[in-house]
Structure 1
Amino acid sequence: MHALTVTMQRREDLYVLVPVGEIDVDMRPILDEAVSRLPDPVGAVRVDMAGVSFMDSGGIHFLVDLRRQVDQAGGNFTISGLHGQPDRVVRLVGLQDYLGRR
């Protein structure tokens, strides 16, 4: 099993989730626990992916699900820090615009 940690930072009305490690389908419970700490409704969420070295379809599903959740609450969703393999995966599936890449 790969190690993954997720911290959350608050910057006024913006909540930044910061995963560090590898995101695969087995890491979904860790990601879901981090999301459960977001207020309801949430105004703005950014996922800072700078510390993520690997991501499979589990990461894509997590990002899409979180984007939908934030959209339904009338919030703003973006991702930042994509690089390397996770960036290639997001581009391969054509979601860079949908995910609000910064």
Structure 2
Amino acid sequence: MVPEAESERFTVAVETVDGAVVLTLAGELDHDTAQPLRDALDEALVPGRRLLVDMAGLGFCDSTGLNVLLNTRLAAQEAGAGLELAGLHGPVARMFRITGADGVFPVHADVTEALRTPHGEGA
């Protein structure tokens, strides 16, 4: 397990589970807190690797956080990797729904469901 990256309002923990790299987010993801997520995603992005972002502990995500994920999705596609989301809820799910971003990512109810689903398939 990789050590947790954190700020006062945001944390990202990284671990490998069943061959997937799971990034567990907690707190508020915004312009001031996005760098630890950028760094963790950049480090985890390896050709052919499945990245799963667990957003269940995320209480807030602004356009900066959304752009980090969208840019990583494009980089993952180019590298032959995958980026999937799990645990969208509340205001975070609403923001993804309103922007249409929930339609460009495979999205799962939670990490357990995601790990049972073949790589790249969303709920």
TM-score, normalized by length of structure 2? Answer: 0.76
Closer, same or farther: CA 12–33 of 1 in aligned 2, 3 Å: same
**Kindly, what percent of the aligned residue pairs are identical?**
30
Structure 1 residue 9 displacement after superposition? 1.4
The answer (yes or no) to whether the contact 1:63–1:99 under 8 Å persists in 2 is: no
The aligned counterpart of 2:53 is 47
Structure 1 residue 33 displacement after superposition? 1.9
Structure 1 runs of 4+ aligned residues shifted over 2 Å read: 39-42
The aligned counterpart of 2:117 is none
Q: Name the structure, 1 or 2, with higher relative contact order (CA <8 Å, separation 6+).
A: 1
Match of 1:99 among 99, 105, 116: 105
Q: What are the superposed Cα offsets for residues 10-54 of structure 1, whole Å, 9 maximum, x if unpaired? A: 023211111110001111211112123315325111100000001
Match of 1:63 among 66, 69, 90: 69
Match of 1:74 among 73, 80, 88: 80
Structure 1 residue 63 displacement after superposition? 1.1
The aligned counterpart of 1:3 is 9
Count of residues in Structure 1 that have an aligned counterpart in Structure 2 = 102
Looking at structure 1, the residues matched to 48 and 70 of structure 2 have their Cα atoms a distance apart, in angstroms, of 16
Looking at structure 2, the residues matched to 21 and 89 of structure 1 have their Cα atoms a distance apart, in angstroms, of 16
The answer (yes or no) to whether the contact 2:51–2:84 under 8 Å persists in 1 is: yes
- Where do 5+ consecutive residues of structure 2 fail to align? 1-6, 109-123
